[in-house]
Structure 1
């Protein structure tokens, strides 16, 4: 917006507000940036310390697993049974002995999912929490066996997390310790040992303290990766047993920083174990890390807004005291713009430029009001002259006498239709010529309409069907004279006459309450089942009806002598908007013209 178009008070208030805005939010922005950086660095330091402690815990747990495997490895009973392919006590005895020893070793380890001993002669001894191993299962079906058979594996190693290979139904996610078992006396290989550890041990034991967050604590996501970047465990359990997502591969070469993964920005920190080269990775959503600084930013914004409001109000009030006389003059001008030429600018008594401007403006309104009054009287007299000229063209007495003579002659000749038409026509002229500028009751206007309809029924006969639904309680209501008959005439001539089979003309009236008011309005509708009008034609007519600036001389008139727009203008002149005529139509089906006027059932009659 051009500054030249601003009001004086807005310029003053805007200048003070802008200067303060730059100062408060400039300082607030610097404070926020510094606070955000500080919170990020402190968070990374705390996370790194926590990761070092957790890495130590993981190392100790894995070392305990290795000790367990050595205990099973070196047990004399297990060595004896694996060394002898057959036993004098039988196979079942050996199985029971092996199961008893494995249960004894693993009972303190609640998260061991299964222990499997694969003898070189094909025997398999196992205990497992899941379904038992199938009878035809062999070590060849183990995913790690090709690696250890080729001799590329270490004396013992961990197999990445994945579903249990020996369980058919409902396998759990486990990671496995694999090691060969050698004869302690002879040194030859007796078989292989596999210990399956449920991956949930990481959540329940290792990460328990880290995951037990209090309300408001930073929520971290942990991933335990082996040396091959396999996800041994994910605290969200979404990528457990999978390769590390490719978006996170870049973090493996960095100690800490920021990374975007799954449309979310994370801060990360990691710690690598020197014991087995496993990596513990911690991810924190960036929005959670900077949450505290965001709160500070929100507080700065809130206080800045409050202060801005106070400064704006104070500067506005100061400026308003200077510009109030101008504002009052502008309000007066707006009322004049809406057509109120009786209003006058308030004279504050000031002798400055604004005071003189108000007095000159009031003098101009006096002159304009007088000019409008003269033009309005001239227009009324001109209309009266036109109407008197029209009335003077026909001698009412001669017309009525002629019509009465026609009626008497028609009765004598037994031409009752002609007599009725003459009588109706005489009533039409009598009603139109007398008291045209006074309000009438709905009953009087209805009688005039019926006289016109009777004439048209003789003309159109079966092609015209007239229906009237007006309650007796509304017959005393006041309406504008000659407001319904022209609509009925238009409906017959322009709606029903072009239709070969004719149609139905319906006249109805009802009363409904005004919205947000205790008054009521009456709606009179004239509808026909004629040829209708196109949507463009209906829209065009309604736009003209809503045009308050159209001159009475520009109104097209119908054969009845009073045009559609003339009726609308007279209603608007008497009652104002939103009263008047409203048009609806469906081309080829129907047309409805409704009259909206205030409801008044009092009886007022001017002298005719």
Structure 2
């Protein structure tokens, strides 16, 4: 009778448990495959959107570079002549080479006179003048002032920007400026968007002409098989991004596309992912799911079998285990002959409870060990800065013994900067401390750039006692050095000044770097109003905006700022703070 009940229980539990698991496994397998494919498409679309933003920024930079001639009044006056004299040709040669060496990816800069066909061009270490027909350029430009194209140049693919140079104000066409750039940087953008066995295509539509570039054939341009990928389904579907199934190079797959506009320039990115790649992407997690489900089924079968023959446990072993627990022994040991009665279930539940209790005890011990380890790391973090301070001082002493006072002074400056930045006790300091720190910082930078860096600090005694957030000056000065001196050849001048007029504190930082355009200043003002936090991936303005946000959160509406910029002449950032009594140190109050 008992054996019959055992068989019925075993078969019934297997049918009730295993069959639903098998059905759920099949459903899970199908739904997971669809979800993985959808997630793959979505993640690639997001990646292509970021890549397109980088491409638009890249084309915008080239476009703005080509506009630099129009702001040079002397050059425009020279180009307005039909025939250039020797001095004018020398000026033109200088401007062409200046454009050529602004970017290492630029391989050729060419200017063609519209009426005479005189063509002046410069490549790396080469400058020539020759006659050349400009009919093709006129036809290519049409009524546009700027055209991009991809073309073969010296057995390589080059991105070429053509721009009309027109006189002001009669808008007469004087000539055509052409800038040839290597596609290395363009290719670097695309390489971030695809993996092995995937293909990436870029289509540029300018003045109704389409140029193409592909990762599969980087040395070919405008290949008919590539141009055929830009179908009407992609161009005219009314969406900026999407996907469709298609065949490329006799291989079926999914084509993801993303479109964007830069003025009249249309850019389209197409990423082709073969179905085999999608299947491989889905295969690994699906295999893992299948393995887990199979293991689960096997475990359940074993568990059912075990439960069916071990429903009851002897109660005296349960009591013995309770006594062992009272003595601190959490290990449950099963001994003797197993009984098949209802008491076995109670013993099993008890064993499970003891196991969980043992896990909790072990977990508590691990937590205590982790707390101890964390405390030790905190102690080490406090010791390491002191070790670095002492090491720098020791090196400085050695430099002084070897009669190297300049090295000694720079080590002392570096040690002071490090100590100041690592001091986390004071969030606000007198401006005098900030000025002292920035003087050390500029002293170190002066050793790096030499005569290319000039700086002047003029602060009134009253303003030096104003308390400001710590490390507010260094990001502003660092911006001036990074964007003005590191990226240029001219002498960089930085001036810092401050004054206190009644209850209004004014701090100015100015330099002669590239500064900000009117559009960039407006963008910064909009970011400040909306309190938009900049990410690291976004280029430009991070240090400045962080300083502005810190001052706003510190002073609220009592803080305002302005920017006046004349590129490569004088760019001034002014910070205004309405001073309260608590913002002036005790020393300044005693002076008053």
Q: Could you state the TM-score of these two structures normalised by the residue count of structure 1? A: 0.39
Larger radius of gyration: 1
Greater RCO structure (CA 8 Å; 6+ sep): 1
Higher-strand-fraction structure: 2
Q: Could you state the TM-score of these two structures normalised by the residue count of structure 2? A: 0.40
